[in-house]
């Protein structure tokens, strides 16, 4: 934190790469519009959506929420570790994020497999269309997030980051937080809200 004398304010700085923030903004816009359309469709056919939601299992989604939030915690810890020049700890936190995210992918994959086995498709009903669209679209983002964190992890293993230079870690963390944030909204909207 900059605690310089009054009048010597540090220039505003965005953590990580500015381009990533544009990207995050765009991603949030897509999800935001999708959520809004979901809300409208749900209001127009509340019974159908309630019936569909009743068929969703809450506990895997809850575990997935915890996995992603834990992943956000570890990736934030990684940024702090690199900032403090604790590069070995930073690497371990990145690895933990990968494992937590991997857990999400497995559990979610299992959930999708169950739905597909039950014959559910995008054309089954409006509810299932939204359920599959939203969760699968988010699922792809988790995978992209994992790819980004993995790339940063590999860089970190080569010793690319330290206290002076860890923009890459911040960039990856920002993206991961976005993926997490969207899931929390999605979880509340699709799984919990009745």
Interacting residues with another protein (CB under 8 A) = 18-19, 22-23, 26-27, 29-30, 33-34, 37, 41, 122-123, 129-130, 133
On the 0-12 / 13-18 / 19+ scale of CB atoms within 10 A, 134 is: buried
From first CA to last CA, the distance across the chain in angstroms is 43
Q: How far apart are CA 163 and CA 74, in angstroms?
A: 17
Residue 3 or 123 having the CB closest to another protein: 123
Q: How far apart are CA 125 and CA 102, in angstroms?
A: 30
Q: For residue 85, what is the DSSP state? A: T
Residue 20 or 94 having the CB closest to another protein: 20
Asked if 125 and 46 touch (Cβ cutoff 8 Å), the reply is no
| Least distance CB 34 / another protein (angstroms) | 5
Residue 118 or 140 having the CB closest to another protein: 140
| Least distance CB 86 / another protein (angstroms) | 30
Residue 69 or 137 having the CB closest to another protein: 137
| Least distance CB 119 / another protein (angstroms) | 15
| Least distance CB 32 / another protein (angstroms) | 10
């Amino acid at each position: 934190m900059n605690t310089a004398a009054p009048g010597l304010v540090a220039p505003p700085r965005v953590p990580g790469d500015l381009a990533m923030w544009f990207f995050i903004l765009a991603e949030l816009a897509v999800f935001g519009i999708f959520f809004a359309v979901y809300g409208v469709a749900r209001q127009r056919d509340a019974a159908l959506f309630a019936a569909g939601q009743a068929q969703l299992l809450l506990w895997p989604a809850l575990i997935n929420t915890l996995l992603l939030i834990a992943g956000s915690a570890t990736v934030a810890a990684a940024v702090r570790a690199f900032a403090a020049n604790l590069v070995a700890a930073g690497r371990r936190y990145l690895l933990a994020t990968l494992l937590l995210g991997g857990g999400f992918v497995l559990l979610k994959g299992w959930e999708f497999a169950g739905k597909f086995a039950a014959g559910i498709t995008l054309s089954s009903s409006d509810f299932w269309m939204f359920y599959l669209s939203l969760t699968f679209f988010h699922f792809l983002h988790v995978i992209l997030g994992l790819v980004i964190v993995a790339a940063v992890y590999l860089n970190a293993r080569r010793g690319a980051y330290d206290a002076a230079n860890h923009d890459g870690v911040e960039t990856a963390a920002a993206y991961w937080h976005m993926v997490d944030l969207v899931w929390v909204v999605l979880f509340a909207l699709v799984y919990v809200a009745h």
